[in-house]
Amino acid sequence: LQSNGCCTGPSFTEENIEPEEDTIIKIAGNSYLVSPNLPDFHSCSPGWSSAFYGAECFDSEVHSYMKNLGKQKSSESQNIDAKKVELEQLLMMETKNYRKTIKFYQKLLQKERRSKGPETKSMLPKLRGQLQEMKSKVQFLELVKKYIMYAEQWGVESCVLPTVIHNGRTDTADGAPTDESSLLLYYNTEKHQCNNRNGIRVLQAGTPLGLMAYLYSRNAFLEGYVQQFLYTFRYFCTQEEFLQFLLDRISSTLSSASLDPSTSLTKICNRSFYILQAWIEDCYSVDFATNPVLLCTLKEFISSKVAPLNGYGERLLSLLEDASARKVGSARQCASMDKCEEEGEEDRKTLHSLCKKLSEDVSRKAFLHFFFLQNFNWKLSKGMGPIAQYQKERLYTISSVLPKPCYNSSAEEFPGSFAKADEVGPYLLIEYSAQRLCCQLTLLQQEVFHKCHPVHFLNSRALGVKDKCVAVQKAVSTETVSLKVCNLFLSKCIQDQYLLQLLRNADSISTWVAAEIVTCHTSKLQVSLLSKFLLIAKCCYEQRNFATAMQILAGLENLIVRQLPAWKILPAKVAEIMEELKAVEVFLKSDSLCLMEGERFKTLPTIPSAHVLAMHVQQLETGGFTMTNGAHKWTKLRNIAKVVSQVHAFQENPYTYTPDFKLQSYLRQRITRFKDADVSALAADNCANFHQIPAEKHSRKIQDTLRRMKATFQ
């Protein structure tokens, strides 16, 4: 099956159970809550699978199943209605049984954990197999439902496409093209994957107007064209031009559209609404949220022109409000997180000053000791020999010499435990297992990755993203990025620059890895940290978190880190992981769709490397986008859409690790502390980063040099 709807994790946790009162419809990776009061208002977004598989999304099994639905009806219209009714009943029944089986499986699993009886152990594997079968059946029925929804739904034949263009114009006597050949260019194929379709013509290129008009083609949804268009239209038209095209079609057909679905005006009007809804559902965050003028234009048009004549207007306004609320909620969460990180250092200083004030009653000797430590940040001398354990290796800070009750009671008043993170230093990394650190770093990476959109990876050259180890320079801000070179989008097209934030986050983690290692004051501690980071990276790529794995690899390949003496005493088995990571990097760079091969990406969570994916898209963007006659190459745009669609595919299956907020807070604070650090400057202050020459050998070299110098003067 090419769809991955109704996805349930391998453990079938309680989180995957949908509520009985509402209906969750998952189509091609997008979940939408459908109110029972609006049964006809379903999701119109085709989803990532439509862009990735195209016409192959619906295989021969779907077509044959469609033929057997509703056969008892005689007329064609009744036959289609019977198909829908029968399919809805089957889907409702299978979904209900699937939910009940999940609940029964969870109860059985809890019983097995408590009693560990042999009967429950034997039933669990059988029940797990039944769940997989039921899940596949529900997915298949949803795929059939999707086909019914899109098959010939408000579409027109290709020969009518010029009429679609002129429906939005007040006059047609201005030399506008009227024949299809001047708008779109096709090429012929002998066979098609879908057995019941003999569609010989495949779209090859088209003018901007022709490509927008092809959205109204009868098979535009089924071929995956609509989703591919929504990903890539910014290469040949702006958001304002595309919106105006849709609004013109609605304006010219809304008043005259009849209830008869066979008329062209009704088809054009309803298809315009479908495309507009799909655009809002899939691209609100990258097109409307970043362009208030565009959003205001759409809202004003719907309120004044659509809502008084058609009930669909209220639904679109409600959809816009819901999308805006989700975007605002997400933005507030990001802002609070950034504010928490930025104020972390200030909170730590406030805590220390408060502790200082509360400790004024301490004896004079303790006060002098405290004052000395506060001003000189004193630590044990490195030349005092090995210090045995964890506590003695820690830096002596202000809070370490204050009375314990004072520190503990004050620390609880400040979020994030920022004060404690500085004192612990890198020792907490050694204390936790590599698997646990991998899980929490993966959850942190997932939080950033799930905010990105496939469109963010387009036109990255214009944002300054290059094929080098550090994708984005730290000194460059999103406001100062120059767009004068390599801008493949139209000049007036607004581009969201979230990709830069994604790459800076990756760069911060790489810098943090390198900084933690070079600041270790003993070779033994450096070896422990090197081993820990290598094991974390191995766990990450084994769990398909390739983003964090490549970020750690970049930190370990830092020029300063690679020259550390600690590498020579690293255990051989651990050192081999470095070669594994390099092999994984070569694998990721080898093919733009390497992570989409097989069936694993449909069931296992995946986080790709943002920089590697951006480089793959840049490679596809190389070369001209237009033919000699000025038509835009749709085959090129279709390939780009296929590659970036994997972003939504991976976001569909999230990791379900249990978050450790205390550990996450520690990791965030350490990453924030070192994100702008100069690794070479940090390394220069640490003797463990240099190859030490034995004292006797060093003294002998000095004496030999003095003898040679003395001989020259004699």
Kindly report, residue by residue over 537-579, the tens digit of the pLDDT: 999 999 999 999 999 999 999 999 999 999 999 999 999 999 9
C-alpha to C-alpha distance for 613 and 647, rounded to whole angstroms: 9
% of the chain exceeding 90 in pLDDT: 44
What's residue 256's pLDDT? 75
pLDDT beyond 50 at 29:
no
Q: Where are the domains of the chain?
A: 48-152, 158-168+182-190+197-331, 432-469+489-689
Kindly report, residue by residue over 342-382, the tens digit of the pLDDT: 544 444 444 344 333 433 443 333 333 333 333 333 333 33
Task: Kindly state the helix (H) or strand (E) to which residue 558 belongs, with its residue range.
Answer: none
**pLDDT band of 107, cuts 50, 70, 90:** confident
Q: Which fold has domain 158-168+182-190+197-331?
A: Son of sevenless (SoS) protein; Chain S, domain 1 (1.20.870)
**pLDDT band of 587, cuts 50, 70, 90:** very high
Kindly report, residue by residue over 649-669, the tens digit of the pLDDT: 999 999 999 999 999 999 999
Please provide the average confidence, as pLDDT, over all residues in the chain.
77
What's residue 418's pLDDT? 42
**pLDDT band of 695, cuts 50, 70, 90:** low
pLDDT beyond 80 at 399:
no
pLDDT beyond 50 at 164:
yes
Question: Taking residues 11-28, what's their average pLDDT?
Answer: 36
DSSP alpha helix (H) spans, 284-425: 292-301, 312-342, 344-358, 364-376, 390-393, 404-411, 418-424
Total number of residues shown for the chain: 714
- Check if 158-168+182-190+197-331 and 432-469+489-689 are the same fold: no
pLDDT beyond 80 at 179:
no
Please give the distance of CA 572 from its chain centroid, rounded to a whole number: 35
Question: Taking residues 129-144, what's their average pLDDT?
Answer: 88
pLDDT beyond 70 at 12:
no
What's residue 272's pLDDT? 92
**pLDDT band of 149, cuts 50, 70, 90:** confident
Strand partners, 542: none
**pLDDT band of 209, cuts 50, 70, 90:** very high
Asked if residues 247 and 290 have their Cβ atoms less than 8 Å apart, the reply is no
Of 620 and 179, which is predicted with more confidence?
620
Of 190 and 706, which is predicted with more confidence?
706
CATH tag for 432-469+489-689 (out of 2.120.10.10, 1.10.840.10, 1.10.10.10, 3.40.1010.10): 1.10.840.10
pLDDT beyond 90 at 414:
no
Of 558 and 162, which is predicted with more confidence?
558
C-alpha separations of 188 from 191, 217, 365, 675 in Å:
9, 17, 92, 54
Angle between helices 264-283 and 225-232 (to 10 degrees): 50
pLDDT beyond 90 at 70:
no
Q: Which two tokens stand for residue 235?
A: 């290469």
DSSP alpha helix (H) spans, 151-263: 161-166, 208-213, 225-232, 239-254
C-alpha to C-alpha distance for 500 and 450, rounded to whole angstroms: 15
**Which among 550, 530, 531 has a CA at the least distance from the CA of 540?**
550
Q: Of the given ranges (90-104, 399-413, 481-495), which has the lowest mean pLDDT?
A: 399-413
Which range has highest mean pLDDT (77-91, 93-107, 680-694)?
93-107
What's residue 557's pLDDT? 96
Asked if residues 545 and 438 have their Cβ atoms less than 8 Å apart, the reply is yes
What's residue 117's pLDDT? 63
Q: Which amino acid is at 495?
A: Q
